[in-house]
Amino acid sequence: MIEPFATQVNFGTGVIDSVPHIITRRLSDMRRMYADPHTLEAQIAAHGDPLVYEVYPVELPEEAGQILHCTTIIYPGRVNDEYYMTKGHFHSKRDCGEVYLGLSGTGMLLLQLEDGTVRAVPMTPGTSAYVPPYWAHRTVNTGNEPFIFFAAWPGDAGHDYGTIEQTGFAQLLVDRGGVPTLVPNPRYP
């Protein structure tokens, strides 16, 4: 039995107090995620492996009935014309959805079905975005400041990163003259 508790979420920084283990993702963790691997390696060499995003997960057992929740902070940046973003995943238990709430900055939630159907949902502070069951999801920072959001999902959902890691999303979100634009992913089968 878990005692009721509350955490304090800083909407401006994304920091959740009392989170013992922060997840950090650097450019070197994103090697398979970008369409232009040469620019990615050049940026790591030139800039010493910059931070792409951080996750503050509230510590809870990953089991049915629990509601896992966290904040994610995606820093502004690009690899060539592709924005900094999360790895993206399906839930291992495909019939588990999720809710995202925008806290700070500007971004896009990309969603994809197993058949390659892609949807994009813009997010700003106050946007409550719904990830329905069966949709893979990735968030992208399309602005010039950190993009921060809160997420809550079922404790037994699990994370399947492999499927997205192998093929990527069917469409890439790229900067075209300052405008976030979806283009076909040449790597997608």
Instruction: Please state the closest distance from residue 91 (CB atom) to Zn ion, in A.
Output: 6
Site string for ligand PAN, 149-178 (x = CB under 6 A): --x-x-----x-------------------
CA distance 71 to 9: 8
Read off the amino acid at residue 118: V
Q: Which of 75, 78, 81, 87 binds ligand PAN (CB under 6 A)?
A: 87
Instruction: Please state the closest distance from residue 177 (CB atom) to ligand PAN, in A.
Output: 28
Is 151 in contact with 70 (CB distance < 8 Å)?
A: yes
Among 172, 186, 183, smallest CA distance to 82 is for 172
Residues 115-154 touching ligand PAN, rule: CB under 6 A, are: 137, 139, 151, 153
Among 101, 111, 107, smallest CA distance to 131 is for 111
The token pair at 118 is: 């892609």
Instruction: Please state the closest distance from residue 2 (CB atom) to ligand PAN, in A.
Output: 20
Which residues lie near ligand PAN (CB under 6 A)? 55, 70, 72, 86-89, 98, 137, 139, 151, 153, 159
